[in-house]
Amino acid sequence: METFKYDAKGLLTAVAQDIETGQVLMVAMMNAEAVALTRATRQAHFWSRSRGQLWLKGETSGNVLDVEEIRVDCDRDALLLLVRPRGPACHTGNVSCFFTTLEENI
């Protein structure tokens, strides 16, 4: 069984990327339980720091992320989820949470 490098709070960073379009959809945290549930169900689960609870992404909206593949980075503290989103990944209705470009300087 693989081991991951969780931080002091037992979390690692997960990036969800659309496997078809390559678009980076969202970044969220996972604890060990979220990782296990994601792997077992093939649907992305995260740990909400603000709410202090585990959540199935799309539980309310229906916009689940079906996980096709999971990659871990070289220092094993971040995961890349290659997903097929069933709808907009962002709670704002945008396809991706990264819909705002910084205008100044760059």
Backbone angles phi, psi at 33, to 5 degrees: -70, -40
Q: Does 53 bind a copy of itself (CB under 8 A)?
A: no
Q: Rounded to the nearest whole angstrom, what is the least distance from the CB of residue 62 to a copy of itself in the complex?
A: 18
The whole-angstrom separation of Cα 43 and Cα 21 is: 18
Compute the residue count for the chain: 106
Q: Does 102 bind a copy of itself (CB under 8 A)?
A: yes
**69: enclosing H helix or E strand:** strand 65-72
Site for a copy of itself, rule CB under 8 A: 1-2, 13, 15, 17, 21-24, 26-27, 39-40, 42, 67-75, 78, 80, 90-92, 94, 97-102, 104-106
